[in-house]
């Protein structure tokens, strides 16, 4: 059994279990949750499709030499630093961040560099700090959190380099 199939089974099983719990709370709860979930599904699927199709276009447009030069497996720590800066500078949600990571892998980016990109994007995308974190939490706390998170993309890349090619 492939890992993707196992993940699909776990996810569908989880949805079925939560749906059963909603039904236990009453038919109106089940119907309301189905309606809300369907509305969210209809809103999100086009964005995911655009991100996936767009990442294919980006992969076709960006010359492979640029990706392999800046983020390739032989770019070393310079590539990791470049990836961390790019990850922190990438705006948008998962459709954008993961699509760009997928493009980099398809175009010949090294696993440690792409891992550093994704971890940096997830931990401290600059626009998310400014637009979400600082308005909800004290700025001093946000900058402290970002500062203590700074080593993690580099640590993740170092571990990926030590383990080797996936």
- For residue 117, the model assigns a pLDDT of 96
Give Cβ neighbours of residue 2 (< 8 Å, ≥ 6 apart): none
* 8-27 pLDDT tens trace: 999 999 999 999 999 999 99
Residue in the block written with tokens 């946000």:
142
Could you tell me if 29 and 74 are in contact, meaning their C-beta atoms sit under 8 angstroms apart? no
pTM for this predicted structure: 0.74
Angle at 152 (CA atoms; ends 147, 154), nearest 5 degrees: 110
Query: Does the pLDDT at position 64 exceed 90?
Result: no
């Amino acid at each position: 059994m492939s890992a993707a199939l196992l993940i699909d089974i776990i996810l569908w099983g989880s949805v079925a279990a939560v749906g059963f719990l909603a039904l236990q709370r009453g038919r109106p709860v089940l119907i309301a949750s189905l309606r809300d979930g369907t509305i969210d599904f209809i809103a999100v699927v086009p964005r995911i499709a655009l991100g996936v199709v767009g990442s294919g276009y980006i992969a076709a447009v960006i010359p492979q030499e640029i990706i392999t030069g800046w983020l390739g497996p032989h770019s070393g720590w310079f590539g990791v630093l470049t990836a961390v800066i790019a990850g922190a500078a990438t705006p948008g949600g998962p459709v954008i961040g993961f699509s760009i990571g997928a493009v980099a892998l398809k175009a010949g980016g090294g696993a440690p560099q792409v891992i550093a990109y994704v971890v940096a994007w997830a931990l401290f995308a600059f626009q998310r700090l400014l637009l979400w974190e600082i308005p909800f939490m004290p700025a001093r706390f946000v900058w402290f959190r970002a500062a203590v998170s700074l080593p993690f993309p580099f640590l993740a890349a170092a571990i990926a380099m030590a383990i080797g090619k996936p």
